[in-house]
Structure 1
Amino acid sequence: MWKIQSKVQALIKSWNSSIPKSSINFQFHRPFSSMDSISSPSRTISVFSTIPLPPGSDAADASGNSTLSRKPISLWPGMHHSPVTTALWEARSSIFERLLDPPKDAPPQSELLTKTPSQSRTIVIYNFSSDFILREQYRDPWNEARIGKLLEDLDALAGTISVRHCSDVDSTTRPLLLVTASVDRIVLKKPISVDADLKVVGSVIWVGKSSIEVQLDMIQSTEVALTANFIFVARDSKTGKAALVNRILPETEKEKLLFEGAEARSKLRKRKNRGGMWGLENGDIKRIDALLAEGRIFCDMPALADRDSILLRDTRLENSLICQPQQRNIHGRIFGGFLMQRAFELAFSTAYVFAGMVPYFFEVDHVDFLKPVDVGDFLRFTSCVLYTELDNPDQPLINVEVVAHVTRPEIRSSEVSNTFYFTFTVRPEAKANGNGFRLRNVVPATEEEARRIIERMDSEKMLRDLSKQSESG
């Protein structure tokens, strides 16, 4: 267990002692070391404010020995994002060192282990109520937590949990490369305030041959405020091929139910990948024709078009960036959590412009990580309102699609690297101000747009039905 007391003393000495400390507590229910017994107490890691150490300050470990000979973790890839990602990677720095510099010609893991969900369970505590610096880092203009920043943290935490499950605690074998494949669903159940402490609990709930599902719950004031499910795939760090991962053995009834729900979602993903779910039938063709009928009026007779509708293409926004070295993860690729944060912010802006007032985040419907993004890539994010759901006047929904393209002007190519689907609603004050607020209906102008709308509608309905079945079961 690393101690950072000396770092704090250096900060206090070099900076004004009145600067408050930011702290986040991490509790690992089962430590990484194979030398510790199952009954060992939980570990807690305190993380302080991200104010950098001044030049010349002396860092020391728990034994009083200087740690300056070890490469500072702040200089490792991807360490700038948030106090949470920094603390997570510090906690598993020994594994990171092996990932960054694996033993030459190290053999793969020789025997798969069977682990329980409790062995990967990790708890993160944000001390918002007592920590001013931490609160300011996560506060949005409406005194709620920044969802985009939390998404970044969730991806980092899910990655840590996956590493813990796949680790064989044998320093002589080469570690697996774990990559975020997709996010099945992230649902915000209640607003997350920065005035009260926030706890995140996560563990592996399902394992396939080379894939892992991690579920994370954010809890505030004893209530679950947000749930998230991340899918990771394992690759051999030397060959790049799919690698087998440690088995999982659910113990409690809840763990068994979570495993069954994840198994059903895995089958759903396989059906989608095979194209079996989205084959066009007569009913789908009729739905496409119905969507296009109104779109043709906009294109051919705009003066006669429905004033309560808008073309999909007229809801678009776009931004772009060059991917910087500071945005990479330990594998040298652009950190998936960073991409999610940027996509969320564009989706939020898209819903804001569309609705005409500040939107309220509802859920992440689905995220696909199709291709890795490298440092130096020219990344373009394009967004649009795919469709709206107006059946419930108390909670109208805005479904936003964000697509990330890796663009290479030198060779005139552009490839889709990620797709994101976010759902927003409007804040209660939108309906309370009495100005007759109403969201517009979105209509496609092309068959390709109509197909995308229908696929997302059907996919979302099936996922919601599956979620309800899991909760009732």
Structure 2
Amino acid sequence: MGSYPTPALSVTIPVASTFTSPFEDSPRAEDEARKPLSLWPGMYHSPVTYALWDARSRIFDRLFEPNDDAPPQSELRTRTPFHSRTTILYNFSTDYILREQYRDAWNEVRMGKLLEDLDALASTIAFKHCSDEDCKTRPLLLVTAAVDKMVLKKSLSVAIDLKIGGAVIWVGRSSIEIQLEVTQPSDDSSDASDPIALTANFIFVARDSKTGKGAPVNRLSPETVREKLLYEEAEARNEMRKWKRVNEKKEIENGEVNRLAALLAEGRIFCDIPALADRDTILIRDTRLENALICQPQQRNLHCRIFGGFLMKRAFELAFSTAYAFAGMMPCFLEVDRVDFLRPVDVGDFLRFKSCVLYTEFETTDQPLINVEVVAHVTRPELRSSELSNKFYFTFTVCPAAKATKTGFRIRKVVPATEEEARRILEHTQMMSQCPKRVSKKVGLKLNGVNGVNGVNGVNGVNGVHGV
């Protein structure tokens, strides 16, 4: 018998953090010896989120250890959109590590991470506008209430520098609206097309950090013609939201009874006589996907709640998978129809995401639309409770390149099996029908969108975060 080789000596491989501790001396002499504690949450998110939270750390030092005995912000100031305007630049063309961090499987920008960055940028802009810069008062608590609209006009390359810029465009008593624009020039220098690739509108609400009640925010004074136009459009959207809260359910109950019955009639065939059901139709419940996670400290924001951008990223990736499994080929993201943040999510919460194809549209047979709903519930098994936390609505189509490889391709129609599903369809389609139309340059479709004016005046981004 041959002898076995002598086993090698045991080797211990040390593991070190890839981040510099804020509590220890920095290894580089030119770096600050001590960074504020408020930077810790951002260290575990995207590079842009970390840079943004680093840039606004002076504000967040007050937020992280607020003085509850300090008086609230009482002096309201009047600010212009220029005061809050902020730009970030992704140096994809020269920074190969950054490019790898944002590259998806098809060499485009990973949309989930971009959604995370958009939320972080909108939050930074909100704090810049609302802060009174007085260390003797307790700062406001600003939370993301909703993403009103996000429209992708063209695909985003991970090989070309990308820029995000935005500012506050409207304020109410305790709420503000922020518009962001993602710009990226074409890789073809001869192409003079619009560099704006994506627009997004975020709505934040202000709360007193001690009482939790609504708090007034600084006023806004638009200066340019474009800023005044954006303010008027945002004001009209706010009035529409107020009207919908009062009248939407009544309108569905009074005017959509016949449509509700028609939707349920199609689903009833599937449930009662499935052998006779239309083969090009599928029940909503058969398009569902689901995942769950325990919310960890690394996913928190500066208020020690789960970061809204992280929730959007997880919801988007589940929605993308749902559209992929439904269509049978690569989906192409078009827009975020609506995101509602109904209650905060805390560290340690058991969070469940459930998605489904809510409905499909056939405006053209070549480019159908797939509308995906994702809902998030905070589940507490020990209390036998499950509470709705977030709602997300995404629209996809099918990538033309993928569709060209599959002959006889068709998107199936989805139908509800319950009255609750039918009402969700009616509520969402009604919301979409009240939005003006936008033309997507990416796929040549008419999409529901929010009116806007191209360009962000006065935004200059050079190597990182500016205007913070």
| DSSP 3-state at the match of 1:251 | coil
Distance 2:131 2:450 in 1: 33
Which stretches in structure 2 are left out of the alignment for 5+ residues?
Answer: 1-16, 186-193, 439-447, 455-468
Aligned counterpart in structure 1 of residue 139 of structure 2, from 172, 175, 182: 175
Contact 1:205 1:213 in 2 (8 A): yes
- More displaced stretch, 102-111 vs 247-256: 102-111
In structure 1, what is the equivalent of residue 239 of structure 2? 267
- Code of the residue aligned with 1:67 in structure 2: it is A
Identify which of 323, 326, 338 aligns with 2:310.
338
SS at match of 1:470: coil
The equivalent residue for 2:460 is: none
8 Å contact kept, 2:36–2:61? no
Once the two structures are TM-superposed, the CA of residue 279 in structure 1 deviates from its matched residue by 2.5
Match of 1:52 among 19, 23, 27: 19
Greater RCO between the two (CA within 8 Å, min separation 6)?
A: 2
Q: What is the CA–CA distance in structure 1 between the aligned matches of 2:423 and 2:278, rounded to whole Å?
A: 21
Residue 203 of structure 2 aligns to a residue whose secondary structure is: strand
Q: What's 2:218 paired with?
A: 246
Aligned residue identity for 2:82: S
In structure 1, what is the Cα distance between the partners aligned to 2:265 and 2:89?
A: 52
SS at match of 2:338: strand
* Mapping of residues 109-148 of structure 1, within 5 Å: 109-148=73-112
Residue 84 of structure 1 is aligned with which of 48, 53, 67?
Answer: 48
Structure 1 residues 14-413: aligned runs within 5 Å: 51-53=18-20, 57-60=26-29, 67-68=33-34, 70-71=35-36, 76-221=40-185, 223-276=195-248, 278-281=250-253, 283-413=255-385
Q: Give the Cα separation in 1 of the matches to 2:364 and 2:112.
A: 26
Distance 2:119 2:307 in 1: 9
Unmatched segments (≥5 aa) in structure 1: 1-49
Provide the secondary structure at the position in 2 that maps to 1:279.
Answer: helix
Kindly indicate whether the alpha-carbon contact (under 8 Å) linking 1:73 and 1:79 is maintained by their aligned counterparts in 2.
no
* TM-fit CA distance, 1:173: 1.1
* Cα offset, 1:434, TM superposition: 5.0
Question: Contact 1:332–1:374 (CA<8 Å) still a contact in 2?
Answer: yes
Q: Distance in 2 between matches of 1:471 and 1:57?
A: 45
CA RMSD, aligned part only? 2.0
The count of residues paired between Structure 1 and Structure 2 equals: 419
State the alpha-carbon separation in 2 of the partners of residues 178 and 150 from structure 1.
21
The SS at the match of 2:165 is strand
8 Å contact kept, 1:278–1:455 = no
The answer to whether structure 1 residue 419 and structure 2 residue 391 are counterparts is: yes
Q: CA deviation at 1:171?
A: 1.2
Offset of 1:261 from its aligned partner? 1.1
Question: TM-score w.r.t. structure 2 length?
Answer: 0.86
Relative to structure 1, the CA distance from residue 464 to residue 373 in structure 2 (aligned partners, 3 Å threshold; closer, same or farther) is same
Q: Secondary structure at the match of 2:43?
A: coil
Question: Which runs of structure 1 show a deviation greater than 6 angstroms over 4 or more consecutive aligned residues?
Answer: 466-469
Percent identical across equivalent pairs? 67
Q: How far 1:260 sits from its partner (Å)? A: 1.0
Deviations 1:377-425 (A, max 9, x none): 0000000000000121232100000000000000100000000000000
